[in-house]
A = this chain, B = another copy of it.
Amino acid sequence: MKSLSSLQQLIEAFRHLPGIGPKSAQRMAYHLLQHDRDGAQQLSVALANAISSVRHCERCNTFTESEVCEMCSDQERDASLLCITETPADQMMIEQTLTFKGYYFVLMGSLSPLDGIGPKEIHFDKLIKRATDGIVKEVVLATSFNNEGEATAHYISEMLKVRGIRVSRLARGVPVGAELEYVDVGTIARAFLDRRST
């Protein structure tokens, strides 16, 4: 239908969002046009603004609007510690724990050769440059504990160790609050192997 082209284009454009299929895209377009044109306007402007102003921090690679992000500009942090996360969301979660006071490096992904994501796509050269600045003493690997995250951690760990940097990984084990009966066997096995003297 030629007369509906801008509506059809909007539905197609929503398909660019992750996890959105044709039905959801249609529902989103109808909803905004019928019930929330102000919201649609805000989203349009927010997208245009973000595209033009959001870029990557020179030091930690996370999203920022300045050359260096706010966290990297904070002089109060411990420059000997560098924590590596996959996404800004993971970084936020770690910040919320209030247990880490060093700096971060955000990979913006994890190694996944089948999807064409190799060392270049996770900004490996930038990471090496950042980690070997002579001030970083320990790199804490906080990538996810799924296959891609573990492979990424292993790769980075090997590459940093040959450059003489101490590398650690978040502890694996039984989650806080968990009842053993309902924890998967792999996690309990790991917790046994990594048991700590009290």
Interface residues of A (CB under 8 A from B): 1-7, 9-10, 12-14, 16-19, 24, 26-34, 36-37, 39-51, 53-54, 63-66, 69-70, 87-89, 108-109
Chain A interface secondary structure, helix, strand, loop or mixed? helix
| Number of copies of this protein chain within its complex | 2
With A3-B64, A4-B70, A70-B4 given, is the CB distance from A13 to B39 under 8 Å? yes
- Residue pair A33, B9 in contact (C-beta under 8 Å): no
Min Cβ gap A78→B in Å is: 20
> When chains A and B are docked, how far (Å) is the Cα of A186 from the Cα of B44?
45
CB nearest neighbor in B for A41 = B51
CB nearest neighbor in B for A66 = B3
- Residue pair A50, B87 in contact (C-beta under 8 Å): no
With A4-B63, A9-B50, A49-B6 given, is the CB distance from A40 to B16 under 8 Å? yes
> When chains A and B are docked, how far (Å) is the Cα of A69 from the Cα of B7?
13
Residues on B with C-beta less than 8 A from A10 are 43, 46-47, 49-50
Min Cβ gap A77→B in Å is: 15
